[in-house]
Every structure is written in C-alpha cells, then in structure tokens.
Amino acid sequence: RTHAEMSALIALSLAPPAAPAIHTGRRKRYDHVIVGAGFAGSVLAERLASQHDAKVLIIDRRDHVGGNAYDRLDDAGVLIHQYGPHIFHTNSDEIVAYLSQFTKWRSYEHRVLAEVRGMLVPIPINRTTLNRLFDLALGSDEDAARYLAGRSEPVDDIRTSEDVVVNAVGRELYEMFFRGYTRKQWGMDPSELDRAVTARIPTRTGTDDRYFGDVHQIMPADGYTAMFERMLDHPNIERALGTDWRDVRDTVDAAHLVYTGPIDEYFDHRFGKLPYRSLRFEHRTVEAEQFQPVAVINYPDEAVPYTRVTEYKHLTGQQHPATSLTYEYPAAGGDPFYPIPRPENQVLFKKYEALADATPDVSFVGRLATYRYYNMDQVVGQALATFRRLDRAREEARQN
C-alpha cells in the first residue's frame, strides 16, 4: 500500500475524538506522530522531516524537549542537567557526525572520585586507588594485577552482582565500593541482583583515571537543549509539549506512530507494570567558584542517603562566580529511570515486545519502549537504524 492509502486506512480506524483534538477545529493529518522528544523521538522527527519531507507532530508530556538529557539555566544562571549528569561518550564516528549538524562540541574527559574512609579516591578502582587506600607503592600494572589477584576470592558459579565483584577484587573492596552503593541505588542487596549490573564496572591496574575509554568524549558546546532545539527547528515539525499521548491518541490522525514512551503503558499495562528504579534530584547552588575537584563524587557509604553529587561547571566549562550541584537520592517511585535487571522482568518485557511486534504501524524506539538502559549514543544509533528501516520500507512501497 502507498503511504497515502495507509494514512487513510489508519485515519478510518481511529475512534471519534473522545477529548478535544490538539488542533481545535479541523482534525489535522500527519505522516508521523512521535511520542517523546528525547533523543529517540527527536532524531526520528529530524530525519523524517528533512529526508522524507514528512509532516511530523512530536509530543511530550513534559513541558520541554530533550527528554532526560534536558539542561537549563537555573535561578543563579548556571547550566544544570535537570535529570542528573549526562556525559556524552561514544566510539561511533557516524553518530558524532550526525549530531555535529546541530551542535559544536567541547572536549571533556569524565573523572569520578569516591569518598571512602574519609578519602577521595578514583573510581573505577585503579592503581592509584589501591595505593592511596592501603598506603602501598604499586609501581606497575603487573604489581597491581598481582595485588588484586591476591585479594580476589574466587566464586565458582558467578550469578549475582556480589559474585562478580568478590570474585574480582575480594570482599573488603566489594564492601567499601559496591555493597552500600548498590543497596542504595537499587534498594536491593547485590546478592539479589543480576551479575550484569556490576559486570559493567571495570577494575584497572593502570593509573588512567578517566571514567570512559571511548574515542569521543565530548559535550555539546551550548548544552543539550540547544542541540535539540536546532534538531527540531524544521518547518515540517510541529510540537505539542505538556501533552500526554494517552490524552490525545484518539484525536490525532497519522499514518505511522513512533512511540518512545514506556512500552507497558502503551498497552495499558495489560500484563502488569514493568518495574523501574527512580531518582529524586536535589539541585543546589553554592556561592563559590568551585565545590569539588571533579564533576562527580560517589558516596558508597550507606549512612549517606545520596549516591553521588555532581558539579556541572566541570562538564560544561561555564565560567560563573557561583556553582550548582545535584544530589541524587535513589527512590522506588517517580520517573522511570532504570529498568530493574531481574530475569522475571525480562520475561514480562518479552510479552510486551510480542505485542509490539504485532503492531506494525508503530515503531517502538528508545530506552523506555525497549526496557533497556541505553546510553545516549546507543539511542541515537537505534533511532538512525529505525529511520533506515522506514526508508527502505518507503522505497519498497514506492516500487510496488
């Protein structure tokens, strides 16, 4: 079927408006409605509008674009990330080239310290961490590897997050750096969590204290929101912010839907809710040029209620007499941030995924629609791949 025929069919299948339409008066027809203006939705809106000359409506229930990467000036005039620190890093030249159409970059290499036993030490654990904590003089990678091997407590069958870390670095380092942090972050003991949660966290024998090893470690020069604004600045793209899809879904006509919200919500939670861990952010401003030596300090100690503190000026390079910080308090309820990595949750997700696969006029894209923790670059990659698929489908439809 042609695009226009599909449009007509779907318009026919939509119920009469139950709530007032977004556009008062005549119902407006779009080629694509996109739910969510984060990376997934915005990349697809930009591609479809600019490459297919398609009419796109992008909606978000928040009153801003950018999704979780949204940044803004706070009351003091300091650029902060509303939903916690977002550091861009990737090995993909293609993804950087794509985003570079909408932003210049500043180079930024992320470093994190952890407060342990009253000291600030590099995390991930490296040779410097060991030397400082245990007053050692390990001089080479081999020395550090030997030292860690001496501390490791081999676990035969590695199943949980606790097993992974104890097996690699022994119980003392596990308790210092991982147990409290993980319990706070997930509200669960590492022994109850899938091994994948801590398997991602490396231990290093060298002294390179950069948090990421990626080829590209960069931040959008004017911030993320400015980049999103440029991406969505196209005459074919209309926005409806502060608009929940559930309130307007019966009133909008579109040939195709891109859905980047929670997949269980799309299907009205018919198999139950997919569980998420959330965060409460406390933003504070301090009347000082600098508050802490690096952008992020982790607090693994369970007695401290927050998990980490971010000072944004390290990330953004902004010059300002004041400085702004975000304290992160893990929470059970709130915005869906981290899918909880337990096998039964994947089983539940698969049931929703099967429904999604049987819904051909909707593309489910992004972290909430695929119930996976993805970094920003991975979501951009997923959205660009989705566009290529839509592009091929359009070509095939044209040829038939």
Binding site for ligand FAD (CB under 6 A): 35-41, 59-62, 67-69, 83-87, 244-246, 260-261, 279, 337, 366-368, 374-377, 379
Query: SS3 of 262, please?
Result: coil
In this complex, which beta carbon is closest to ligand FAD, that of residue 41 or of residue 190?
41
In this complex, which beta carbon is closest to ligand FAD, that of residue 37 or of residue 79?
37
Q: What are the angstrom distances between the C-alpha of 114 and each of 122, 178, 254?
A: 6, 11, 49
Minimal distance in Å, beta carbon 280 to ligand FAD? 11
**Rounded distance between C-alpha atoms, residue 136 and residue 155, angstroms:** 26
Minimal distance in Å, beta carbon 126 to ligand FAD? 20
In this complex, which beta carbon is closest to ligand FAD, that of residue 271 or of residue 373?
373
In this complex, which beta carbon is closest to ligand FAD, that of residue 47 or of residue 62?
62
Minimal distance in Å, beta carbon 387 to ligand FAD? 14
In this complex, which beta carbon is closest to ligand FAD, that of residue 132 or of residue 234?
234
In this complex, which beta carbon is closest to ligand FAD, that of residue 78 or of residue 368?
368
Minimal distance in Å, beta carbon 122 to ligand FAD? 18
Query: 65: number of CA atoms within 13 Å, CB side?
Result: 25
Question: Angle at the Cα of 387 (from 385 to 388), degrees rounded to 5?
Answer: 65
**Residue 199's CB: how many other CB atoms inside 10 A?**
14
Minimal distance in Å, beta carbon 260 to ligand FAD? 5
Minimal distance in Å, beta carbon 24 to ligand FAD? 20
**Rounded distance between C-alpha atoms, residue 160 and residue 154, angstroms:** 13
| Minimal CB distance residue for ligand FAD | 67
- Asked whether the beta carbons of 182 and 189 are under 8 A apart, the reply is yes
Inter-axis angle of helices 161-173 and 141-151, nearest 10: 100
- Asked whether the beta carbons of 312 and 367 are under 8 A apart, the reply is no
